[in-house]
Amino acid sequence: MSESLRVVIVGHGVIGSTVAARVATGEVVGAELVAVVNRSPVANPPAQQLDLPAALKGADLVVECAGQPVVHEIVDQVVSAGVDLLVTSVGALLDPELSGRLPQLGPGRVLATHGAVGGLDLLAAASRGGGFESVLMRTTKQPGALIRQWMEPEQIELLRTATEPVLVFSGTPNEAVALFPESLNIVAGVATAIGSVEPLRVELYADPAATMSTHRIQARAQLGEYLFEVRNFPSRDNPRSSAITPFSVLHSISGLTQHPPAVL
Ligand SMILES: NC(=O)C1=CN([C@@H]2O[C@H](COP(=O)(O)OP(=O)(O)OC[C@H]3O[C@@H](n4cnc5c(N)ncnc54)[C@H](OP(=O)(O)O)[C@@H]3O)[C@@H](O)[C@H]2O)C=CC1
Ligand SMILES: O=C([O-])CC(=O)C(=O)O
């Protein structure tokens, strides 16, 4: 590895462009932006725009900010080149085919950002100390951010006209990330931290009065009971996701550099 961590950003959209710009200006001590990879041409990229094979030649870390399908597209290529992959679209890691192969992949590592939630360090600790009886994750967002093409017209109408909170989804983590791939990656972050999907149940609410996206994690573990409530402002450029997310990715990159202090 060179002295600084050589970073490639895949996906130069709302999240990736913020991450790329800030790594490029040296905001993450010990990291440098060497390339961006994006489906379409990027006007004035903060580093050279390359295709993935070319970008991998000079990379230590690829940061995915492009969506769950892109994780599936690139994961083998990145880690088999000995490059670490930091995943933002963490929901992809719950896919049964990919999750089954993860322990065999390498020599690069597959890493997940905590993204728009927190408390994962303590949940990971509790999973080592006896595990969980139950974990309930309840997310509330603005109705407009949750409308999906696969919904029945009646459900779309209900979301458009809601005057009070509506339960949009209740189910397993795998169902959650498959049905809401741009909105519930955080569920996979929690599942990864606790090392299992089994104790985790997910509820998604649409609230017309919501000015913030709320994620409430309520966990009952052998070592204690934990309640985390995160209230994020939605991103101005993409109301489906939280404005904090690119900064969480920057924090995750910072944790991979050699520069203390780091909270691990
Ligand atoms: N873990 C978490 O807490 C969160 C995770 N996320 C994840 O982050 C993802 C990105 O979010 P956001 O930045 O808002 O989305 P955007 O739609 O703004 O950006 C996606 C970018 O990825 C690019 N892209 C798409 N396909 C490819 C490809 N095959 N190769 C290279 N680039 C590609 C797009 O290119 P083009 O210019 O051609 O459109 C676009 O620039 C979300 O889809 C979600 O999965 C989001 C919020 C929170
Ligand atoms: O930003 C958020 O609120 C969470 C999100 O979109 C995701 O996890 O995909």
Residue 113, pLDDT score: 97
Atom of ligand 2 nearest to the CA of 185: 8
CB 174 near ligand 2, within 6 Å: no
Distance between CA 32 and CA 51 in Å, rounded? 18
- Proximal ligand: closest to the CA of 249: 1
Q: How far is CA 145 from the centre of its chain?
A: 17
Same domain, 149 and 163: yes
185 is in an annotated binding site: yes
Average pLDDT in the 18-38 region?
A: 97
Cβ(258)–Cβ(251) under 8 Å?
no
Q: Is 88 in the pocket of ligand 1 (CB under 6 A)?
A: yes
| Same domain flag for 210 and 128 | yes
Question: For residue 89, how far is its CA from the centre of ligand 2 (angstroms)?
Answer: 9
| 19 three-state secondary structure | helix
37 lies in the same domain as 99: yes
Q: What is the mean pLDDT of residues 144-151?
A: 95
How many whole angstroms from 58 Cα to the centroid of ligand 2? Answer: 30
Is ligand 2 within 6 A of the CB of residue 177?
Answer: no
- The C-alpha torsion from 243 through 247 and 248 to 254, rounded to 10°, is 180
Q: Which residues pair with 234 in a beta bridge?
A: 242
Asked, for residue 173, whether it belongs to a domain, the answer is yes
- Specify if 13 maps to a domain: yes
215 is catalytic: yes
- Flag whether 79 is in a domain: yes
Ligand 1 atom 30, closest CA: 39
| pLDDT score at 2 | 56
**Would 264 be classed as within a structural domain?**
no
Q: How would you list the strands of the sheet with 200-206, edge to edge? A: 166-171, 200-206, 132-141, 213-221, 224-232
**108, 57: one domain:** yes
Q: 211: domain CATH number?
A: 3.30.360.10
Angle at the Cα of 61 from the Cα atoms of 59 and 66, rounded to 5 degrees:
110
Tokens in use for 233?
Answer: 């402002």
60 and 147 share one domain: no
Q: What token pair was written down for 35?
A: 């390339």
The pair of structure tokens assigned to 213 is 């996206």
Check whether residue 78 and residue 179 sit in a common domain.
no
Residues 106 and 196 in one domain: no
Do 198 and 213 lie in one domain? The reply is yes
Q: For residue 195, is it within any domain?
A: yes
Residues 42-100: pLDDT tens digits?
999 999 999 999 999 999 999 999 999 999 999 999 999 999 999 999 999 999 999 99
Domain at 89, CATH number: 3.40.50.720
215-254 per-position pLDDT tens digit: 999 999 999 999 999 999 999 999 889 999 999 999 999 9
The total of structural domains in the chain comes to 2
With beta carbons less than 8 A apart as the criterion, state whether 91 and 229 touch: no
Residue 261 belongs to a domain: no
Asked whether residue 10 falls in the same domain as residue 68, the answer is yes
Q: Taking residues 155-178, report their average pLDDT.
A: 97
Any idea which residue has 């379409």 for tokens? 40
Q: Is 176 annotated as a binding residue?
A: no
Which residue range forms the structural domain that includes residue 142?
A: 120-232
Residue 4 contacts residue 30 (beta carbons within 8 Å): yes
* Residue 124 structure tokens: 């990971």
Mean pLDDT for the stretch of residues 150-167? 97
- 67 with 166, same domain: the answer is no
The ligand placed nearest to the CA atom of residue 240 is 2
Place of tokens 């209230």: 231
Name residue, tokens 């979301």.
159
pLDDT tens digits for 94-146? 999 999 999 999 999 999 999 999 999 999 999 999 999 999 999 999 999 99
The answer to the question of residue 24 being in a domain is yes
The closest alpha carbon to 91, from 15, 214, 186, belongs to: 186
CB atoms closer than 10 angstroms to residue 210: 17
Does 72 share its domain with 11? Answer: yes
